[in-house]
Amino acid sequence: MKLAAVKGITPVSTRSVEDTERELTQLIIEARGAEAAHDPGVALAARDAAELAHENGAGLVALVAHPGADPGVLVGMTVAADAPHGPDAAAELRAYLADAGGPDIREVTEARTTRGYPVVIAERLLVGDPLRTGPPTGCQLQAVVLEPGGRGMAVFTLHSVTGRGWLELAAVLGDLVSTVDFHSPSP
């Protein structure tokens, strides 16, 4: 699979958890401003993202930035289904996510990339309060691009702790998703 470089998405190293954490922390501070260096939540968020990415074998970890938004963290990976995708795979995945996603799922939609690949998009509002009475603790967007007739899936998860500028960050992710090409090898 191949992806194009997209303005606003800055990949970091996936050599080790420590490298990923260090580079993400640095980019978040640069995006939010020098005062963010004193926010212990920045390093904690970077560490959590780095550990999660490495535990799941992510091939892409990046900072997503837009002038009208707080930065978000993007994790991307490719996975293979047990069997080739049938013609209804996207609709089946959309229905599954809508049914099994729980109360955090806000919306599940289906689209196609410019290359014609089906994409299932799930948006979540994350709430830290188990009784769901508090304000959201972040936003998460997951986009799954399916390889028609193949077994490949590109899974992208974008997370924003604040949600400020969420639509702008989602648009940057959309720009990246539109470049997925399952028929070209990675450079």
pLDDT confidence bin for 57, thresholds 50/70/90: very high
Three-state secondary structure of 35-104: HHHHCHHHHHHHHHHHHHHHHCCCCEEEEECCCCCCCEEEEEEEEECCCCCCCCHHHHHHHHHHHHCCCC
Q: Is residue 185 part of a domain?
A: no
Q: Is residue 4 part of a domain?
A: no
pLDDT(130) > 80: no
Q: Is residue 97 part of a domain?
A: yes
- Taking all residues of the chain, what is their mean pLDDT, rounded to a whole number? 90
Q: Which two tokens stand for residue 3?
A: 């992806």
Q: How many CA atoms lie within 13 A of 62 on its CB side?
A: 21
Q: Which two tokens stand for residue 54?
A: 């490495």
Q: Is residue 82 part of a domain?
A: yes
Domain count, the chain: 1
What is the model's pTM?
0.90
Inter-CA distances, 37 with 58, 64, 96, 158, Å: 26, 18, 41, 22
Q: Is residue 18 part of a domain?
A: yes
Assign residue 59 the CATH number of its domain. 3.40.1000
Q: Which of 86-90, 110-114, 180-184 has the lowest mean pLDDT?
A: 180-184
Q: Is residue 182 part of a domain?
A: no
Q: Is residue 2 part of a domain?
A: no
Q: Which two tokens stand for residue 127?
A: 């709430």
Which structural domain, as residue segments, surrounds residue 58? 9-177
